[in-house]
């Protein structure tokens, strides 16, 4: 090998070594960079995992604290539990229409407020509610022509416009969706404390687990838009009860006048025409609907119906082969008990005879002119016991509906005062029936396939 060739070979070797060094340095840098990125990603993953773990632990602690409070709220002086079964509430109305949050705590004031919420997880737990029927109610179409503020809003804002124009059965399903989302959001925020029952058999397990049980219900046959085939669809969603008549006459028949009392509020000024009231009873389609509900296993609620309406529905139920009870889920006992939505002595006896119940609203009942709302409630209970016996009394608060609440009976928290008053007046067995047992029997006998 001459000198030139030796020199060229040395240069080639030097270049190869240089390339190798560069590759080594580059690989080392890439490896180090990957390690740094990996460690950063791992650190972020660890942080996220720790955060989830803390949130899970906190949710579990919240859940256990709420369960302990719920059980403690249900206890009487003897240590026996007296949970409440409320046959009529409307939290999904406020959640759907006004985006109120069920998992948050709300202030309850006596009177009527169309937008605020009082049925929330804290009020239910603090008052010892074991079961509540979350009643979906889509505003009747007449509301949007009859109530001036709604008529204006439905033309200016897309959400009221949707509520005023979408098919009623579609809106009803949206309400059920909202109620279920309301429960899911609450359990994410506060721990697993509320559960939806879709069959009667779910109720005991949920209550025994120390949770609040929610059940779907519907108010008003207008949700069916004249189609009885939709009854099965609502049953499949877990609806246990349907109030057939409501604020306006619907496809099933007439209704009682409640607008006379509502007209005194500022937001109803110039609203609610008397022309919408109808003294008629059930029409042929309404008769078919009541038969269908009894067949399928959705409890028939006849509150808001006229005296003739109630008489006809009770007769249908008594003659039906499945012998299911019916109900008046939320009533106010007036000085004249049969006035408006109130049950006459005949109504009370007839409903009691078939195993049904009458739910008392949490408001100032005027039956005996008592100045204290809780005492007035006791007088209303005495009226029902007098005419139907102790198995007909139940609770149907109508909280979060468009009803006027009273001082001391303004939210589910106030069931504590009701429980205390009942235990001071009646036996533990009677109190247990009034608050829970009678309503549970109604669900057992009336809800579900036979």
Q: Do 214 and 187 belong together in one domain? A: yes
Pure H helices in 135-240: 141-146, 148-156, 158-165, 168-190, 200-208, 230-236
Closest by CA to 218, choosing from 400, 358, 90, 359, is 90
**Range 422-433 average pLDDT:** 99
Domain termination site, one of 57, 74, 91: 74
Q: How far apart are CA 328 and CA 140, in angstroms?
A: 20
Q: Is pLDDT of 36 > 90?
A: no
24: pLDDT confidence band, cut at 50, 70 and 90?
Answer: very low
Q: pLDDT digits over 58-115, tens only?
A: 777 788 999 999 999 999 999 999 999 999 999 999 999 999 999 999 999 998 888 9
Q: Is pLDDT of 275 > 70?
A: no
Q: Do 141 and 44 belong together in one domain? A: no
Q: Do 290 and 180 belong together in one domain? A: yes
Q: How far apart are CA 190 and CA 66, in angstroms?
A: 9
**Range 350-364 average pLDDT:** 98
**Range 348-370 average pLDDT:** 95
Per-residue confidence (pLDDT) for residue 207, from 0 to 100? 97
Q: Do 236 and 163 belong together in one domain? A: yes
Closest by CA to 132, choosing from 88, 73, 183, is 88
Number of domains within the chain: 2
Percent of the chain with pLDDT over 70: 83
**Beta strand 194-196 with 212-219: parallel, antiparallel or unpaired?**
parallel
Q: Which of the two residues, 352 and 257, has the higher pLDDT score?
A: 352
Q: Do 103 and 68 belong together in one domain? A: no
Q: Do 52 and 122 belong together in one domain? A: no
Q: Which residues of 364-386 are buried (b: 16+ CB within 10 A; e: fewer)?
A: bbbbeebeebbebbbebbbbbbe
**Beta strand 253-255 with 278-282: parallel, antiparallel or unpaired?**
antiparallel
H helix or E strand, kind and range, residue 357: strand 357-360
Q: Which of the two residues, 185 and 15, has the higher pLDDT score?
A: 185
Per-residue confidence (pLDDT) for residue 256, from 0 to 100? 87
Domain termination site, one of 74, 94, 117: 74
In the predicted model, what is the mean pLDDT of the chain?
A: 88
Q: Is pLDDT of 311 > 80?
A: yes
Q: pLDDT digits over 231-267, tens only?
A: 999 999 999 999 999 988 899 998 988 776 665 555 5
Domain termination site, one of 41, 74, 107: 74
Q: Do 70 and 202 belong together in one domain? A: no
Q: Do 37 and 164 belong together in one domain? A: no
Q: Do 91 and 4 belong together in one domain? A: no
Q: Is pLDDT of 277 > 60?
A: no
214: pLDDT confidence band, cut at 50, 70 and 90?
Answer: very high
Q: Is pLDDT of 279 > 50?
A: yes
Per-residue confidence (pLDDT) for residue 33, from 0 to 100? 46
Domain that holds residue 326: 81-446
Q: Do 137 and 31 belong together in one domain? A: no
User: What CATH number is attached to the domain comprising 121?
Assistant: 3.20.20.140
Q: Is pLDDT of 29 > 60?
A: no
Q: Do 104 and 176 belong together in one domain? A: yes
47: pLDDT confidence band, cut at 50, 70 and 90?
Answer: confident
Q: pLDDT digits over 136-162, tens only?
A: 999 999 888 878 888 899 999 999 999
Q: How far apart are CA 435 and CA 224, in angstroms?
A: 31
Q: How far apart are CA 366 and CA 409, in angstroms?
A: 14
Q: Do 313 and 345 belong together in one domain? A: yes
């Amino acid at each position: 090998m001459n000198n030139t060739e030796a020199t060229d070979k040395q240069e080639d070797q030097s270049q190869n070594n240089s390339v190798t060094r560069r590759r080594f340095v580059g690989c080392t840098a890439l490896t180090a960079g990957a390690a740094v990125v990996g460690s950063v990603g791992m650190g972020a993953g660890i942080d996220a995992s720790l955060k989830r773990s803390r949130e899970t632990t906190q949710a579990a602690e919240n859940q256990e604290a709420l369960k302990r409070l719920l059980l403690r709220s249900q206890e009487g002086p003897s240590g026996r539990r007296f949970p409440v079964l409320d046959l009529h509430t409307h939290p999904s109305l406020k959640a759907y229409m006004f985006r109120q949050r069920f998992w948050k705590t709300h202030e309850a004031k006596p009177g009527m407020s169309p937008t605020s919420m009082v049925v929330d997880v804290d009020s239910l737990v603090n008052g010892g509610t074991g079961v509540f029927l979350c009643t979906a109610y889509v505003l009747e179409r007449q509301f949007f022509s009859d109530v001036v503020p709604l008529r204006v809003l439905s033309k200016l804002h897309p959400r009221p416009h949707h509520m005023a124009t979408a098919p009623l059965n579609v809106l009803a399903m949206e309400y059920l969706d909202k109620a279920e989302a309301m429960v899911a959001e609450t359990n994410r925020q506060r721990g697993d404390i509320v559960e939806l029952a879709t069959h009667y058999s779910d109720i005991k397990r949920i209550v025994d687990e120390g949770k609040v049980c929610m059940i779907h219900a519907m108010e008003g046959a207008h949700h069916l838009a004249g189609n009885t085939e939709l009854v099965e669809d609502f049953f499949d969603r877990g609806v246990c009860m349907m109030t057939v008549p409501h604020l306006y006459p619907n496809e099933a028949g007439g209704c009682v006048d409640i607008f006379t009392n509502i007209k005194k509020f500022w937001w109803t000024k110039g609203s609610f025409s008397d022309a919408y009231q109808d003294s008629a009873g059930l029409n042929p389609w309404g008769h078919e609907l009541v038969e269908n509900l009894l067949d399928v296993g959705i409890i028939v609620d006849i509150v808001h119906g006229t005296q003739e309406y109630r008489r006809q529905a009770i007769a249908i139920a008594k003659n039906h082969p499945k012998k299911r009870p019916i109900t008046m889920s939320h009533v106010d006992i007036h000085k004249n008990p049969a006035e408006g939505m109130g049950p006459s002595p005949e109504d009370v006896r007839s409903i009691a005879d078939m195993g049904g119940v009458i739910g008392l609203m949490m408001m100032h009942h005027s039956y005996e002119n008592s100045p204290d709302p809780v005492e007035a409630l006791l007088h209303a209970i005495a009226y029902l016991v007098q005419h139907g016996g102790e198995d007909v009394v139940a609770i149907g608060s109508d909280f979060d509906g468009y009803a006027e609440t009273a001082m001391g009976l303004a939210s589910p928290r106030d069931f504590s005062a009701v429980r205390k008053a009942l235990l001071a007046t009646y036996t533990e067995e009677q109190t247990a029936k009034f608050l829970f047992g009678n309503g549970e029997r109604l669900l057992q006998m009336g809800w579900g396939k036979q």
